[in-house]
Each structure stands twice: as C-alpha cells, then as structure tokens.
Amino acid sequence: MDPQPLTNTHAPASCWAIVVAAGSGARFAGDVPKQYLPLGNQRVLDWSLLAMRRWVGNRLILVVSADRLQDPEPLAAIVVCGGSTRSASVRAGINALPPDADYVLVHDGARPLVSDVVIGNIISALMSGADCVVPGVPVSDTMKRVHNGVVMETLNRAELVAVQTPQGFAAPILRRVHATDEEATDDAALVERAGGHTVVVTGDPLTRKVTTAEDLDWLATRVGQHSANGAA
C-alpha cells in the first residue's frame, strides 16, 4: 500500500536529487544520446530535470558524460562527470552530495514523464523510515526464468513488478552501499544485497524509459496527457 501522499511538491530541505544522464544510448539508433533528443518542446533530459526540480528545487545534481561536461545546464545546481557504468555514474553524483543530505532521489535522465504523485509517495515513505523506495508497475506478461534457451521456471506474475525511477534512499545507506564499488542495474539492488529494507510504491506506466525510437514515439503521443495530469 502506498504511504499517505504529500500534499504539495516540497521535499524536506535535506532531500537532494541525482539525475543520471551519462549513458551513450548505445541501443538507440542515431548519433545523439537519447536523453538529449527532443520530446515536445524540450529535451528528454529537461523533462526529467524539471520533474525533480519541482520537489527539490536547486538541490539537484546532474551526471553527464565527459564530452558534455562543459554544456550549459541551467536546471542543475551541480554538474559532474559520470563513469563507465551506471553505478560509477551514481557514485559520482553521491560524491557531490553535501554532508547534511538525509534523503536522495536517483533518477534516470531518459525517463522523462514522472508523476508528482509517485515522487510524493516515495518521499513520504522515506520520511517514514524506509531505507529505499522504488516505484513499480504490475507485470502483464507471463514471466519465465530461462537458462541457455531452456525454461527453468514459470514465475508467479502476481508477485512481480517492473521497477522504475526515481528511486529514493536514506542518504547514509546509499553512501554505504556504493562505498564497495559494486555494480548493479539499479541502486535498490545494492541495498537489497546489503540487507536493507526496500519499499515498493505504485509506479506510473507513463514513466517509460527511452530505449528505442519506438519508446520516444510512444512518449511523444502522451506528453499532452502527462501535462493535463498536472505533472509537467
């Protein structure tokens, strides 16, 4: 069950956000990384940055690739150079956090349409004591665990969710799990490995990650819907 949502878009002053945008977008056809492509009247990345700014204001760290480090990014308070992996890029953002940060939202720059309701529920759960909070959406397809092309197990779909970002963390825990330089596809996995408590709140199907040109086309048709819901 989702926590009681916050009634406005103001996170505690000790809450920061890290937006990760250092990826090359290798799976996306074209020379421009997907997070820098246009969506509506701005870049994919701008949608992500503005979503975080609505909650954290200027307490926003942007992680970019080395070749983008000199680009003007007025929506971010701090811009840092990422690493060769997602986890290394998140660590670069963590290293830029002030010592008094209590909560951190980590968001993928290629997930542009973020719901204020989801962000509010994440922050509310963090303030209630969760180590880590992730948004998840139900899985509609039957899921099977496969090894070398052979089905090993059919999983219980009712127990599965597809996890999105932003993901929220108690800052000391996020610092601790990244201190080992471990790698993971998302930061919540590092918390889980360390025995931390992760809470799932209801995600939003509109918070789709841009991975292919089809994803960008799908999101482009829904920008108006997102704005009409008061989340843009």
Question: pLDDT tens digit string along 83-136?
Answer: 999 999 999 999 999 999 999 999 999 999 999 999 999 999 999 999 999 999
Q: Is residue 1 part of a domain?
A: no
- pLDDT for residue 153 is more than 50: yes
Instruction: Quote the number of domains for the chain.
Output: 1
- 28, pLDDT greater than 70: no
Q: With bands split at pLDDT 50, 70 and 90, how would you rate the model's confidence at 1? A: very low
What's the whole-model pTM score? 0.91
C-alpha span between 111 and 165 (Å, rounded): 7
Identify whether 6 is part of a domain: no
What tokens does 1 get? 């069950």
| Predicted pLDDT of residue 232 | 45
Question: Tell me: the pLDDT tens digits for 164-174?
Answer: 999 999 999 99
- pLDDT mean over 191-203: 95
Residue 86 lies in a domain: yes
Local confidence band at 196 (pLDDT 50, 70, 90 cut-offs): very high
Output the pLDDT for position 11.
85
Q: Is residue 5 part of a domain?
A: no
**How many CB atoms within 10 Å of residue 1?**
6
Residue 129 within any structural domain of the chain: yes
Cβ atoms of 131 and 173 within 8 Å: the answer is yes
The answer to the question of residue 100 being in a domain is: yes
Indicate if the alpha-carbon torsion angle 227, 188, 198, 177 is positive or negative.
negative
Q: What digits encode the pLDDT tens for the residues 29-61?
A: 567 889 999 999 999 999 999 999 999 999 999
User: Considering the domain boundaries, does residue 161 fall inside one?
Assistant: yes
- Residues of the chain with pLDDT > 70, as a percent, come to 89
CATH number, domain with residue 173: 3.90.550.10
Q: Does the residue 139 lie in any domain?
A: yes
Domain range for 39:
15-228
Select the more confidently predicted residue: 25 or 17: 17
More confident residue, 204 or 230: 204
- pLDDT at residue 187 tops 80: yes
**For residue 2, pLDDT beyond 90:** no
Beta-carbon count within 10 A of 147 CB: 8
